[in-house]
A and B are shown apart, each in its own frame.
Chain A
Amino acid sequence: MTPTAAATSNVTQLKPQAAAPTATVVPLPAPAAKKPFFSPRAKTRMMEWGATVIPPLLTTAVLLILWEVLCSSPTSSLPAPSKVVSDTWELIANPFYDNGGNDKGLGWQLYASLKRVALGYALAAIVGIGLGALVGASTWAMRGLDPVFQVLRTIPPLAWLPLSLAAFRDGEPSAIFVIFITAIWPVIINTAVGIRNIPQDYKNVAQVLRLNPIEYFHKIMLPAAAPYIFTGLRIGIGLSWLAIVAAEMLIGGVGIGFFIWDAWNSSRISDIILALIYVGAVGFVLDRIVALIAVAVTRGTANA
């Protein structure tokens, strides 16, 4: 930007410096000339990686040892980790076996649960963003709907199950409805807050450009509120996963929730523990997926 026409016409000696502060680009460190076995950059990256990976590995190891020690006596009511692994080795090794009925591998059980969550959650996301946009954009919609939402959202997810069983007369749609009704409140509320917080500046830009309502919705409103919307979506996916396990316990059929309940009824405690680990892992992965989508969509304005 130094060679501007303006700068050549009436320049003081200071001009190049005048331009400098605005154009300063932090140079990337130059690549190392000599190549040692590990380049210094690779070395620091490995150290950073180690610093983030080693602490959780250490705590997990300590917890496992503690658990092993506490549950190793033959009279212990809960199995030690070594016993869990040996008891459930069949399940770990064959996640996708299928003997018909409910007798399926844990992979299939999780898949069934995830399918229900995916459907209910997708519906909650679409309807939630729509309703949230309405409540955020219109004062009247807010006055009318906000009190209703505030009451409904305090109802525990499972309390909806009997009602939805009565309405749908079938376990499958009822479970999906429970997911939907669980996930929708944080989406609605966060979307509405995001839209209410759109800075006046952006609205002014939209007005000067005479954006029509549709253009305003997808060019200003959605991107401006995206970080808030994704906060809602992230809370929503967590709650969905919490709710599905409980709902499936009551509904039965294939699904990780009923698998746990079934294992309890036939006293397969090791199976329960293995299933819980899988549930935790899947919940964690779901949360990370939504967080990564958030970062990709908002181009870094939302927090991972």
Chain B
Amino acid sequence: MSKAFLTIEHVDKSFTRGAMTNEVLTDISLSVNQGEFISIIGHSGCGKSTLLNIVAGLTQATKGVVFLEGKVVDEPGPERAVVFQNHSLLPWLTCYENVSLAVDKVFGRTKSKAERHDWVMHKLKLVNMEHAKDRRPSEISGGMKQRIGIARALAMQPKVLLLDEPFGALDALTRTHLQDQVMQIQAELNNTVLMITHDVDEAVLLSDRIVMMTNGPSARIGEILDVDLPRPRKRLELVSDRTYIAARAAVLKFLYERHKFVEAA
């Protein structure tokens, strides 16, 4: 049907609780190309996580369809790996075991034991976490947990990587560092990425396109901004780059002028 790699077609989502119906998303359509890095930005509660979960298959859309390589998405699967907002590592497993759980499940039939071990170690190296492979999630910092979460997702060799505010809970310096790492990994592996964020700089720095969502209820895609900056991108050089400044201004304008966050009661 469509040529794009990942397409979201006229997706609506409402939650019904008893007689109450909460319209969250209305008519969301988006086409994503292979290797593209898309950020979804919007005020808190507008339905970003809901949209990501629909793409992940964890939530069913009320109306509309999601296609990945022409196939309908109707259940979760490792080809759409998710890095969850709160890392979601299993606390009884070490960092290594958290990643190898995914690797054993996804490549249990196709890779030998030694190959799977190398694969896990390679992903841990990619996020610079080999040194902590035998530690448990409770023994490492928030930024390290998020990196293990990213390693676990990458280890599934997903067609699409779904990131739900991956750096939201981190301090600014750690976040900067992880953003650089994600950029570098993406350059290396050319993943297709859908990332939720509420950080304007993060969106402009990382994305090829920024999808801006209007406020809920019944949130829709308000605007899509192309970020036409060459890669590799360097944070410091971009500070004074015209395109960067313009893109940043456009997103800020959208978020804080036209779709000002109205505090709900």
Binding site for B on A (CB under 8 A): 1, 4-7, 9-10, 12, 14-15, 17-19, 21-24, 201-202, 204-205, 207-211, 215, 219-220, 223-224, 226, 298-299, 301
Nearest residue in A to B142 (C-beta to C-beta)? A22
Given contacts A201-B86, A208-B56, A210-B78, contact A12 B236 (CB under 8 A): yes
Chain A neighbourhood of B86, CB < 8 A: 201
- Give the one of A12, A205, A219 with max B CB within 10 A: A205
Q: Complex formed: what's the CA distance from A19 to B174 in Å?
A: 6
B101 contact from A23, A204, A209, Cβ within 8 A: A209
- Tell me whether B184 and A6 are in contact (CB under 8 A): yes
Q: Would you call B171 an interface residue if the criterion is a C-beta within 8 Å of the partner chain's C-beta atoms?
A: yes
Residue of B173, B235, B236 near A17 (CB, 8 A) is: B173
Residue from A18, A219, A220 within 8 A of B174 (CB atoms): A18
Count B-side interface residues using an 8 Å CB cutoff: 43
The answer to whether B101 touches A219, judged by C-beta atoms less than 8 angstroms apart, is yes
B232 touches A215 (CB 8 A): no
Interface contact tally, CB-CB below 8 A: 98
Report the minimum CB–CB distance from A207 to chain B (whole Å). 4
Instruction: Give the nearest-CB partner of B184 in chain A.
Output: A6
Can you add 16 more A-B contacts, CB < 8 Å, to A6-B177, A10-B237? A4-B128, A5-B184, A6-B180, A7-B177, A9-B184, A9-B234, A10-B234, A12-B235, A21-B141, A22-B141, A22-B177, A23-B144, A24-B141, A201-B86, A209-B156, A215-B105
Contact B80 A208 (CB under 8 A): yes
Residues of chain B at the chain A interface (Cβ within 8 Å):
56-58, 75-78, 80-82, 84, 86, 88, 90-92, 101-102, 105-106, 128-129, 131, 136, 141-144, 156, 171, 173-174, 176-177, 180-181, 183-184, 232, 234-237
CA distance A301 to B144 in the complex (A): 20
Tell which of B105, B171, B181 has the most Cβ of chain A within 10 Å. B105
Q: Chain B residue with minimal CB distance to A10?
A: B234
Check A204 against B176 for contact (C-beta < 8 Å).
no
25 A-B pairs within 8 Å (CB atoms) are namely A1-B129, A4-B128, A9-B180, A10-B234, A10-B235, A12-B235, A15-B177, A18-B176, A22-B142, A22-B144, A23-B141, A24-B141, A202-B88, A202-B90, A204-B84, A205-B84, A205-B88, A207-B76, A208-B82, A210-B78, A211-B105, A219-B101, A224-B92, A226-B92, A301-B92
A30, B105: Cα distance in complex, Å: 43
Bound CA–CA A223/B84 (angstroms): 20
- Roughly how many angstroms separate A4 CA and B101 CA in the complex, as a whole number? 26
B180 CB contact (under 8 Å) in A7, A208, A223: A7
Q: Name the residue among A12, A22, A223 with the largest chain B CB count within 10 angstroms.
A: A22
Give A20's nearest chain B residue, CB to CB. Answer: B173
Cα distance A163–B183 in the bound complex, in angstroms: 71
A223 to B237, CA, bound (A): 48
Q: Do A1 and B173 touch (CB < 8 A)? A: no
Residue of A nearest to B77 (CB): A210
Minimal beta-carbon separation of A9 from chain B (angstroms): 7
**What residue in chain A is nearest B128 (Cβ atoms)?**
A1
How far apart sit A110 and B196, CA to CA, in the bound complex (Å)? 63
Smallest beta-carbon distance B33→chain A, Å: 23
The answer to whether A22 and B174 touch across the interface, beta carbons within 8 angstroms, is: yes
Q: Which residues of A contact B76 (CB under 8 A)?
A: 204, 207-208, 210
Contacting pair B174 A21 (CB below 8 A) = yes
Nearest-CB residue, chain B, relative to A215:
B105
CB-based nearest B residue for A298: B92
